[in-house]
Chains A and B, each alone.
Chain A
């Protein structure tokens, strides 16, 4: 098979490039050398591990659904609206992407905590959010939403409006256009955004521990459990880390860029 020859890269570039790849891969490989393979099945199926994993999967799924419900309309508005304040809105919405998650957790407490802006009012209706599983979902949604919005907005902009215009000229109402043309055309972008949001939710730590705490069974997700165990039971921490690595590998396989692997 013939291959197109690109302009040659300078040879020295390969040295730092390989170093960068090694820097990412080496720690993960190093971790697998520390694993007590014989004890692995017991460690990952212990009562605490199973409840943490289930909680992680449940809350991450819930937050992914929430990201979809909120993020798809938001991405559509960001991609299609021509209003002047859209640029400002985009900058604000992407804030969690650059904010340290701990700060996100403190912000969520300020809004939904017992003494928070909305939390106080919710309390009067008997709704308590902070330090519950709902808080875990909110923390995960807060940090994951930008991932979905960014990839979907990019896909929408790339797809452009030409097909939407044709659909409208054929008599399709805006809702029909969105459902039958706009979203189906960006399905790959939507799918990868969803998987990224799920992965980010699964790994969420800082905002969760700040806003939801670490209560076994209700708010102690897998990353929180690993953090707890790393001093008392290092073997278990490493074993559970491997579970998250496995999930990450699956995620990358799902959203890998075209042509990779």
Chain B
């Protein structure tokens, strides 16, 4: 069930297109307001785009002069809130999809039992949603979506409302049931992308900033968002023979990737925040890159502190935070060795 989608929503400034191959899981990544949920709504037929086209398995669902109602698309939607029908038991919730598409009561219940067992929630069959925990409710909601036998599964941050303690188990469950299923998932969590998605599509400001296989995009990001998402620092500019020159003229030396970007072409320099040191004054010595920055925020990271300065960040010890007197508004210099900086074409 492959998908070809182009979504244009003018008043939200969205114009994105991407494909999903049969049985593939694609993650839509991007900052809040980038248009991910809007794109999902268009795929599910909840929103009519100004222009564009949604083709599922060769059938046009949305397009110029063409509109298939949400219930006829077979694109089940699962949001961060499980939204189980409160007046129905877990079993009846899961049986809702099959019942609605004309399956007999007995067969629908059997299917519901099967899917509840599939998400390890067989013992919850008789419970009302009010008596389920958040994690249990989301399991039942997953079973309900799968029982509808969707051609395309749409997941809108399915783990965002869950306790951190139950999210990993649910992620493992999703990884199991999504295998071989055509799925589009919107997420803010890097683990969702790594464990669930075959490919990622990064949307920024209503446009596709980059897309590709998950491992490739997250290890060699080309967009600021993907770098931040993967926990990497990224400096964009134009290629020089041994690095990247930022638009403001600052030069970053690094290791040219293969293939090396042509000098003058758009390129990015990418490095790990743990490779960055913070100094009060710019140090001497040529193999080191110095980036003057102003600290914007500090956040704890294990036994380190992640020092954010706009788009860039450095992971430093608690001792050096105290020593340097780091706090939002303080000017410091981020220093990173040229050997730690990867440079490749944008």
Interface residues of A (CB under 8 A from B): 162-163, 165-174, 176-177, 180-181, 184-185, 187
Q: Chain B contacts of A171 at CB under 8 A? A: 71-72, 74, 97, 100-101, 148
Of the candidates A162, A163, A170, A174, the one whose C-beta lies within 8 Å of that of B76 is A170
* Interface-lining segment among B80-88, B167-175, B267-275, B292-300: B80-88
CA distance A173 to B72 in the complex (A): 8
Q: Chain B contacts of A173 at CB under 8 A? A: 71, 100
Once the chains bind, are B71 and A162 in contact (CB under 8 Å)?
no
Of the candidates A165, A176, A185, A187, the one whose C-beta lies within 8 Å of that of B100 is A176
B77 at the interface (CB under 8 A from A): yes
Give a binary string over B53-74; 1 marks a CB under 8 Å from any A CB, 0 the rest. 0000000000000000111101
Once the chains bind, are B44 and A166 in contact (CB under 8 Å)?
no
A252 to chain B, nearest CB (A): 26
B144 at the interface (CB under 8 A from A): yes
Once the chains bind, are A166 and B77 in contact (CB under 8 Å)?
yes
20 cross-chain CB contacts under 8 A = A163-B83, A163-B85, A165-B46, A165-B70, A166-B83, A167-B85, A168-B70, A169-B46, A169-B71, A169-B154, A170-B76, A171-B71, A172-B71, A176-B100, A177-B71, A180-B100, A181-B85, A184-B87, A185-B85, A185-B87
B307 at the interface (CB under 8 A from A): no
Of the candidates A162, A170, A181, the one whose C-beta lies within 8 Å of that of B97 is A170
Across the two chains, which residue of chain A brings its CB closest to B81?
A162
Q: Chain A contacts of B334 at CB under 8 A? A: none
Across the two chains, which residue of chain B brings its CB closest to A166?
B83
Once the chains bind, are B83 and A170 in contact (CB under 8 Å)?
no
Q: Chain A contacts of B97 at CB under 8 A? A: 170-172
Once the chains bind, are A169 and B76 in contact (CB under 8 Å)?
yes
Once the chains bind, are A170 and B44 in contact (CB under 8 Å)?
no
CA distance A185 to B145 in the complex (A): 20
CA distance A170 to B96 in the complex (A): 8
Of the candidates A162, A174, A177, A187, the one whose C-beta lies within 8 Å of that of B83 is A162
A55 to chain B, nearest CB (A): 37
B161 to chain A, nearest CB (A): 13
A184 to chain B, nearest CB (A): 5
A90 to chain B, nearest CB (A): 25
B183 at the interface (CB under 8 A from A): no
Q: Chain B contacts of A163 at CB under 8 A? A: 83, 85
CA distance A169 to B156 in the complex (A): 13
CA distance A168 to B154 in the complex (A): 13
Most buried by B among A163, A170, A173, A185: A170
Once the chains bind, are B76 and A167 in contact (CB under 8 Å)?
no
Known contacts A168-B71, A170-B144: does B77 contact A180 (CB below 8 Å)? Answer: no
CA distance A163 to B144 in the complex (A): 13
Give a binary string over B74-110; 1 marks a CB under 8 Å from any A CB, 0 the rest. 1111010101011100000000110011000000000
A118 to chain B, nearest CB (A): 37
Most buried by B among A163, A166, A180, A185: A166
Q: Chain B contacts of A167 at CB under 8 A? A: 85, 96, 100
Closest 9 CB pairs of A and B: A172-B100, A170-B97, A169-B77, A168-B70, A171-B101, A170-B148, A168-B71, A184-B87, A171-B100
8 Å CB interface, B94-128 against A: 96-97, 100-101
CA distance A88 to B179 in the complex (A): 52
Q: Chain A contacts of B85 at CB under 8 A? A: 163, 166-167, 181, 184-185
Known contacts A163-B85, A165-B46: does B96 contact A172 (CB below 8 Å)? Answer: yes
Once the chains bind, are B77 and A165 in contact (CB under 8 Å)?
yes
CA distance A163 to B72 in the complex (A): 17
Give a binary string over B143-165; 1 marks a CB under 8 Å from any A CB, 0 the rest. 01100100000100000000000
Q: Chain A contacts of B77 at CB under 8 A? A: 165-166, 169
Most buried by A among B46, B70, B86, B148: B70
CA distance A170 to B83 in the complex (A): 12
Q: Chain B contacts of A187 at CB under 8 A? A: 87
Q: Chain B contacts of A166 at CB under 8 A? A: 77, 79, 83, 85
Across the two chains, which residue of chain A brings its CB closest to B144?
A170
A3 to chain B, nearest CB (A): 25
Q: Chain A contacts of B44 at CB under 8 A? A: 169
CA distance A181 to B75 in the complex (A): 19
Q: Chain B contacts of A176 at CB under 8 A? A: 100
A62 to chain B, nearest CB (A): 29
CA distance A177 to B87 in the complex (A): 13
A181 to chain B, nearest CB (A): 6
CA distance A167 to B144 in the complex (A): 10
